């Protein structure tokens, strides 16, 4: 199972496969045809409360990841996660985000969960 994470502002590449936008809001300054996004499951993003808590510096990345995984276990998010997992089982999937910190944000949590389910 090939799952990778890239910034949505980077030019799409042929090896991206299915491009899944994992942000709740559309990235600023980016035209939809330039992004080449195939899926946009907004329900996979962290809740506004969790996002505010983490960005306010109130907790560690590990605690954020634990709380986010709990949110992803909720029925709607779990169904969307299964959909992306199914796409990844058929071919490469690239999770795209506007976030600058790919290693300590929700993209890394999602990628790890998808890779561990293979």
Segment 91-113, tens digit of pLDDT: 999 999 999 989 999 999 999 99
Q: For the chain, where are the E strands, in sequence order?
A: 3-7, 18-21, 93-97
Number of residues written out for the chain? 118
The HSE-up count of residue 25 (CA atoms within 13 Å, CB side) is 8
Q: Which residues contact 30 (CB under 8 A, 6 or more apart)?
A: 8, 9, 98
| 39-57 pLDDT tens trace | 999 999 999 999 999 988 8
68-90 mean pLDDT: 95
Tell me the two tokens of residue 108: 């890394």
Instruction: Report the C-alpha gap between 83 and 20 in whole angstroms.
Output: 11
């Amino acid at each position: 199972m090939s799952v990778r994470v890239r910034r949505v502002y980077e030019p799409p590449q042929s090896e991206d496969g299915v491009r899944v936008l994992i942000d709740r809001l559309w990235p600023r300054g980016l035209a939809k045809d330039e992004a080449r996004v195939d899926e946009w499951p907004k329900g996979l993003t962290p809740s506004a409360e969790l996002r505010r808590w983490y960005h306010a510096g109130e907790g560690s990345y590990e605690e954020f990841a634990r709380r986010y995984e709990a949110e992803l276990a909720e029925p709607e998010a779990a169904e969307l996660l299964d959909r992306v997992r199914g796409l990844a089982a058929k071919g490469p999937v690239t999770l795209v985000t506007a976030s600058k910190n790919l290693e300590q944000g929700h993209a890394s949590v999602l990628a790890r969960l998808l890779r561990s389910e293979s």
